[in-house]
Structure 1
């Protein structure tokens, strides 16, 4: 087998024919913007990189992770930017490692044109390499420059916060929130420079809405260590978050929700911090807000975390959360639906929770509808809820459930590929539902057409 090797020919003098037949000249292409260049000049000058410093092309490509790259830089085989472009006798250019793999598979053709090769050599396309290197270098240095500017600005704003008051403080917080929301380097700068302590100190019983909303908007985007979280769980700070959850804008409510959930991640988080009637009422208002549906998922996510603390479940039931959540079920997407069903299932562990589920007229029809509709986990929660209330009042609830098409749905679960535990629970519930009917009548209730209708 002939081995493909770099040609000893040296016919490249600063230009090369591109894939589209146009002449690609380094200066013309970059200065003219043909390849998205940004003008000439020394690469790296003035942006923290010394003249003549060589950067690794692979590193630049990986760190930039650009979605739009000139097509002439892309290897037709891998569809990735080329780092070592070589040209075949057909004029087509490929990444060296990719075309060698092609040849090693026994192909003696050009992958793009499928022409048979009359010359078995590959030639380094130095001009294209320089074009690629120049283009990525310019993008890379601009990115680094912006990153340095962002870090510097974050540090400046942090220093301003330590000294300013009133409107100047609010303005600094506003700008800092925008910077940390958009740039990971700014978030790291704020954390490394003690910014979490500075911003947390602004939260207290006399904090204005303007300061509090911006400060919470910053903190929710930062990485908080255990000490920072402990500081933020002080009663006065939690109280402020609860007040803003009830009275703030939708964005502020969502930020308060996300921050409280982040604080709950600590192992020693105490349930009394969320055993607040005001907190739970504000949370349910956010979840039910039909005008601003972007608050539903974060709201349900926090309520889900709160439900893990069994001591708080009774309080959640007492504020009427169960009928409100049941009412929302048909309109929820799959992610929100699983969270809502988990919460309802957790609340059904309480006697008062089961009673609230039973007394809500939409519980049974909504749960029956969800069986085998969304996911196995959703079916599991819905089935568990139905079991809880049917066991509570077998005659009344079982009849309502069967009339809603439960029997046919249970047969579908039993015949499906669900887990054995889920099938077993379905069989038990089916048996419970059949007690109020003769065999003939119950079989008629199991017809699939009823479920479809």
Structure 2
């Protein structure tokens, strides 16, 4: 195995610096030289000169002439190198495919070396990925190894392999079957908990993604919901991380799992409303990638009484919802409008309506009404306008009817 691995690694080629364009740093396809003797890729130097520069980019010498001369010798050398590199790449893929086949057919026990080799093979080519994904017996053995593993590193590597091949529908369905069939205390869900507690950020993200697609299957979702400690660890991951992809992955997973009232109540107890409020009130640019997921979670928990109570009790959360309208995506705006409608129109919470008005929420709702939103969202905005105007006083009716045409979205 070690010999095969070295063979694969030795086939990687480094691009010689002589073959890189000093401007783009890419391999030159049509090398040409200036009168200074420096060679560039034709497209790069022509762009430089077209901008009005009269100097050599590498030496900053003033050019007495901007004429270029094709460097035919260097061009032939680059073409030869490209041919050799392509041959080496094909050879590496063949070696990699053979190594993958050997591991798939022979692995009864998994160690870090064999799993790292599988990961390398899968990354090498689409064919290798399909080869591993379509090997049902191999996937079953990996999941079994994950369920029995007490080594966090082995668990992380297996999760990385599963995440890589999970784009294949057959793998998703197989994992769903294995989760449903496994009813022992020692199962892969227990390993997921261990990774969420002690794993690297990258492995936690991959675990959250696997849990998210498993939650699309009702029976697997039920097992995830009932697994003691899993929801808690997933929430901790979502709330404790500052890495944007990590927070987004955690919230996406929670959103997929939280479909029943008990799960929503547990998330509320854990403090999801405060977590989302913190996200929505954070730096605008840093939070934009997770805003849609955060508002989606709020919309989900707002479907139960406990959720609405928790949201209207957190003024920062309500303010964050209003400020997020029209700032992210259409879906995020629609999530936010739905939550505000639930607070202000469904349960007629006066405190929430006052908070919305304080942060210019009426104008925001009017802007949403003029945007390309769904019919249902527009209707909820209409209801919100009536409630907010009633709260503010009838004197606002004329401005609403006569002055909205000039308002443009942020």
Matches within 5 A, 1:266-277: 266=217, 268-276=219-227
Q: Is the 8 A contact 1:162 1:198 kept in 2?
A: yes
- 1:375-433 deviations in whole A, cap 9, x for unaligned? 33222111111111123243322222212211222232334444443333222111112
Higher CA-based Rg: 1
The counterpart of 2:368, out of the listed 402, 410, 413, is: 413
The counterpart of 2:92, out of the listed 134, 146, 164, is: 146
Whole-angstrom CA distance in 1 between matches of 2:125 and 2:108: 22
Q: Is the 8 A contact 2:354 2:391 kept in 1?
A: yes
2:233 maps to what in 1?
A: 282
Residue 188 to residue 400, structure 1, CA distance change in 2 (3 Å): closer
Residue 137 to residue 438, structure 1, CA distance change in 2 (3 Å): closer
The counterpart of 1:200, out of the listed 143, 146, 158, is: 143
Q: Which runs of 5+ in 2 are unaligned?
A: 1-15, 20-25, 32-42, 44-75
- Offset, 1:359: 0.8
In the superposition, the TM-score normalised over structure 2's length comes to 0.69
- 1:251-272 deviations in whole A, cap 9, x for unaligned? 2212221222233344653423
The counterpart of 1:71, out of the listed 30, 53, 61, is: 30
- Offset, 1:148: 0.5
Residue 374 to residue 261, structure 1, CA distance change in 2 (3 Å): closer
1:403 aligns with 2:368: no
In the superposition, the TM-score normalised over structure 1's length comes to 0.63
2:302 maps to what in 1?
A: 348
The counterpart of 2:324, out of the listed 328, 353, 370, is: 370
Q: Is the 8 A contact 2:97 2:121 kept in 1?
A: no
1:180 maps to what in 2?
A: 122
Whole-angstrom CA distance in 2 between matches of 1:305 and 1:267: 11
Q: Which runs of 5+ in 1 are unaligned?
A: 1-32, 37-66, 73-78, 80-129
Q: What is the DSSP-based 3-state SS (H/G/I as helix, E as strand, rest coil) of the residue aligned with 2:145?
A: coil
1:155 aligns with 2:106: no
* Structure with the higher fraction of residues in helix conformation: 2
Whole-angstrom CA distance in 1 between matches of 2:371 and 2:202: 43
- Offset, 1:345: 0.6
- Offset, 1:283: 1.6
Residue 174 to residue 140, structure 1, CA distance change in 2 (3 Å): closer
Residue 192 to residue 412, structure 1, CA distance change in 2 (3 Å): closer
Whole-angstrom CA distance in 1 between matches of 2:116 and 2:381: 54
- 1:304-339 deviations in whole A, cap 9, x for unaligned? 211345663233223221221121124454442112
- Offset, 1:295: 0.9
